[in-house]
Amino acid sequence: MTVPQLAVCNLSVRFRLKTGQALQALTDVSFSVPAGETLGIVGESGCGKSTLARAILQLVTPTQGTVEWQGNTLNPHDKASMKAYRRAVQCIFQDPLDALNPRMTVGDIVQEPLLALRPELGKAAIRQRAADLLQAVGLESGMHNRYPHEFSGGQCQRIGIARALSVEPQVIVCDEPVSALDVSIQGQVVKLLAALQRDHHLTLLFISHDLRVVRNLSQRVLVLYLGRIMEIADTARLYAEPLHPYTRLLLAAIPLTDPQQERERLAQIRVGAGELPSPLNPPSGCVFHTRCPQAEAKCRAQVPALREVAQGRWVACHFQDSDQ
């Protein structure tokens, strides 16, 4: 049996607020990612996508569960293994300008991870690699002495991508990397990520609420709702035949090009979808039952298990049998 490159096992994250309340951001999240795959992670704002990214990156401490790298459970107290993990798993952040230090030049920004994680390369080699990476993401190497505020949002995201690539990672966690960009720029960045994945044999975790972008880049999609996995499937199968009611709701929300059809679609969604419950007081049983048109008494009382209903296809719904 092939060991996955990255695996998340029964991961839960709970935050204790100053008010004394507990916010359950993730609950029993489990999945694995083989090398070279792009896994899309989708869901509405507030569903735990960014918390999941931070837990994988070890920027927040899980309440329970583990993150496994190449078959080994991460130990945050083992400095040597964590340094190797930092090199292997990098991140591209949501806001391209806020993610860059305004007091550092672009060249210094790209060099910083190398100086921290690959100092043995030497300063001259590090400077050259930074210049090469800026060219690889579509920027001129002569821009290395300029500051982030001198660049557009799309250019700043390219700088962030170059920084993530600097230490030659095997996995990049992309946390809403195009949501702050114009539509035309989004397409350019997505194409750049796809090309870099091929060229560098990367594994990507692509987090987004835009299912159109996810469809163009991902081989599989994980659907997250209020910190729980609702469905995991190959991209083509999930878009052609969504099994979970929440997945169907997300796909129905993809904007249409015809204005009249778009108005009619939005009216239907407003009637049937409802609002996302507060994670401070999540619904009992299936967390989606308050918005689900199929919900019955069982859904309100019992949490559905995430079950494999077909090869490679997982669904957490009381109404899905294993003969799909």
Q: Which two tokens stand for residue 250?
A: 């997300």
In which residue are the tokens 């720029």 written? 185
Residue 254: the pLDDT is 79
Q: In 244-260, which positions are buried (b, 16+ CB within 10 angstroms) versus exposed (e)?
A: bbbbebbbeeeeeeeee
Strands 313-315 and 64-69, bridge-based pairing? unpaired
What is the average pLDDT across 75-103? 91
The predicted pLDDT at position 271 comes to 43
Domains parsed from the chain with CATH numbers: 6-218 (3.40.50.300), 243-324 (no CATH)
Confidence of residue 96 (pLDDT cuts 50, 70, 90): confident
Angle, helix 153-165 to helix 106-117, in steps of 10 degrees:
20
Segment 116-159, tens digit of pLDDT: 999 999 999 999 999 999 998 988 877 889 999 999 988 999 99
Of the candidates 59, 57, 2, 62, which has an alpha carbon nearest to the alpha carbon of residue 32?
2
Average pLDDT, the chain: 89
Percent of the chain with pLDDT over 70: 92
- What pLDDT does residue 165 have? 93
Alpha-carbon span 36 to 259, nearest angstrom: 39
Q: Is residue 82's pLDDT more than 90?
A: yes
**Could you say which DSSP state residue 242 is in?**
-
What are 278-318's pLDDT values in tens digits? 888 899 999 999 999 889 999 999 999 999 999 999 999 99
Strand order, beta sheet including 6-16: 22-33, 6-16, 64-69, 72-73
Q: What is the pLDDT of residue 164?
A: 94
Angle made by CA atoms 236, 237, 238, in degrees to the nearest 5: 95
